[in-house]
Structure 1
């Protein structure tokens, strides 16, 4: 992915100096919704981006607003499904919400995933993340079963190249 802009937001590849800032965005948003930060569990991947994403053929992006990291979005290949990836760590601080950035980020992730010949996208989320649930459901993600992350209670998938 080449860096891209959406309004005054810069979406770019993660770099090691982003580790703390990306983790803080995710911790902050989880806390806002009453969900726990799990550095030894569900959030270990954001502290070890190289192992979980980059070394496995995935990507981790950060979103900057005037040089401040205000969001994240990532994906990596998974065994569930055929030629599948899971979109993970799609979080935006409150100052980055309400502009259509979430939808734009999701579309860019999907485009990048599709360009790499993956066929399915899976996403896990929690019902309390109302905006995320609405975003996925309004972008043709289909409810599924088999949640694997303890703090999540919803899982969705989407077949790429299939028109609903």
Structure 2
């Protein structure tokens, strides 16, 4: 699903190391990763986060939605699930890296601001933050 989502954005598909061992990179560290599945138990979306050491903040990762499932609220539901869970664990802020170049990740540059994320001081527009 993630390879398909990257391909649809014109990126060379490849998997990041954390996706090859979700248990190790997320759950074993006390962090979280969610998947959305369709009626046929096929993965159609994902999102995860890693805690920032010695803080109450997190980095958001791997929010992907299968191309044919976009623009129906699934990405927003995944994002809100991660935010609500993080808040319940006492997290106070979420950081997200939108990807570069902007033309390859153009959807992120409109999606996150619509959901309350903003550029934070001293950083470029591809780095955003939301206070919980």
Q: What's the TM-score bracket when you normalise by the shorter of the two chains?
A: 0.7 to 0.9
Alpha carbons 1:29, 1:91 under 8 Å: kept: yes
Q: TM-score, normalised by structure 2?
A: 0.85
Who is 1:68 aligned against? 42
- 2:3 aligned with 1:31: no
Q: For 2:118 and 2:12, how far apart are their aligned partners in 1?
A: 26
Q: For 1:100 and 1:62, how far apart are their aligned partners in 2?
A: 14
Runs of 4+ in structure 1 off by over 6 angstroms are: none
Question: How far did residue 146 of structure 1 move?
Answer: 5.5
- 2:78 aligned with 1:105: yes
Question: How far did residue 98 of structure 1 move?
Answer: 1.6
Alpha carbons 1:82, 1:120 under 8 Å: kept: no
Q: For 1:122 and 1:38, how far apart are their aligned partners in 2?
A: 23
- Which digits, 9 at most, give the CA deviation of each residue in 1:127-155, with x for residues without a partner? 232222212111111113568xxxxx711
Q: For 2:28 and 2:12, how far apart are their aligned partners in 1?
A: 27
- 2:108 aligned with 1:132: yes
- Give structure 1 stretches of 5+ with no counterpart: 1-24, 148-152
Who is 2:89 aligned against? 116
Cα RMSD of the aligned pairs, angstroms, is: 2.0
Who is 1:53 aligned against? 26
How many residue pairs get aligned? The number is 127
